[in-house]
Chain A
Amino acid sequence: MVLIKKFKGALIAGILLGLLFAWDAGKGLEAIKISGFALTEMLSIIPPIFILLGLLDVWISRETMMKLMGKESGAKGVLLAFFFGSATVGPLYGAFPVAAVFMKKGVKFSNIMIFIGAWSTTKIPMLLFEISSMGAPFALTRLLVNIPCIMIMAWILDLMTPDSEIDKLYERMERM
């Protein structure tokens, strides 16, 4: 029963896949091919990310992390949030567990939001790839617009979330 609840999302997605098959078998096969590809990507990227995460959790103390990216960290914290988000590889779903560990270590909420934003759009390895396939004007324009956008988004999200809810989120991360 617990297992069914845990895999509820996968079950629903599986049913959708079945429906697609019934509608068009070719499309169904295509879907399986794409899922298989995405699964390989996940299995190749996720292990190192989670190992780094575990090491970070064990070796870097809360005090250090708070000094670097906590409430009093100022511009240094913002820059580090951008750096950590941009230096990584992997889809957005990899950012959430990292954010959880950051929050456990006392990283400021707006820096968490910057980190998530940077992870989603300003990845450095991806930028080089973007330049080669879309051209420098496209990639650099996007980067230049994205940096202030991410900061404004983080600021608005921070502003729109009451302190009580932020406290609750930090408590929740303790259990993640």
Chain B
Amino acid sequence: MRIIYLYGVSALLLALSFRKSREKTKKALNKAWKSFSKIFPALLGILILVGVLLAVFDADFISRIIGDESGWIGVVLSAVVGAITLIPGFIAFPTASVLIDNGAGYMQIGAFISSLMMVGMVTAPMEAEYFGKRLTLIRNLMGFIFSFIVAYVIGKVVGGLWF
């Protein structure tokens, strides 16, 4: 669904652009191709690595370390797993809801989802190519720390663990 709308919008704009200027459209497509071929080798490595990591850190493994009783250690561990792995949201959310049904805590799942999205260890080398090592390190580190804040609030609000 989402992909269809993305394709629709780009096809429409591309057609408009083509009507206005054939020359500029060609230039735009050239640029698109150039940016893609620049990013592709790094992406290929990332995708292979994602497969390896997810095969090792499977749902079974994750649910073992982030039970409701696992407390802050479970929160830290799930944030670490979230930081290492790269799972698309439309897989991560259903998985997370299964994990909760199987006894994972809201706080731990909150940490996992947050660091999964904000921290990308696998994509860090690529991020560094654009933003440099220092900035990449700080951004990811901060995302990691912020995922604990998110986890804490979610644990309080959704888990109903008021003081």
Contact = CB atoms under 8 A, between A and B. Distances in A.
B64 interface: no
Chain B facing A: main interface SS: helix
Interface string B15-52: 00100000011011111110110110111111111111
A41 B36 CA distance: 15
Interface string B99-139: 01000001000100110011010010111011110110011
B139 A55 contact: no
A79 interface: no
Chain A facing B: main interface SS: helix
A20 interface: yes
A58 B51 contact: no
B75 interface: no
B97 A54 contact: no
B149 interface: yes
Contacts of A13: 44-46, 48-49, 52
Contact of B150 (A51, A113, A130, A149): A149
A6 B39 CA distance: 10
Given A129-B89, A173-B130, A16 B49 contact: yes
Contacts, number: 224
B154 A9 contact: no
B13 interface: yes
Contacts of A130: 89, 93
A72 B149 CA distance: 31
A7 B97 contact: no
Interface in B130-163: 130-132, 134-135, 138-139, 142-143, 146, 149-150, 153-154, 157-158
Contacts of B32: 50-51, 53-54
B142 A153 contact: yes
A113 B139 contact: yes
A7 B96 contact: no
Interface of B: 2-3, 6-7, 9-10, 13-14, 17, 24-25, 27-33, 35-36, 38-39, 41-52, 54-56, 58, 86, 88-90, 93-94, 96-97, 100, 106, 110, 113-114, 117-118, 120, 123, 125-127, 129-132, 134-135, 138-139, 142-143, 146, 149-150, 153-154, 157-158
Given A7-B41, A123-B89, 11 more contacts: A7-B44, A13-B48, A17-B48, A48-B6, A58-B31, A99-B130, A125-B2, A133-B96, A142-B154, A169-B131, A176-B38
Interface of A: 6-14, 16-17, 20, 27-28, 30-36, 38-39, 41-42, 44-55, 57-59, 89, 91-93, 96-97, 99-101, 113, 116-117, 120-121, 123, 125-126, 129-130, 133-135, 137-138, 141-142, 145-146, 149, 153, 156-157, 160-161, 165, 168-169, 172-173, 176
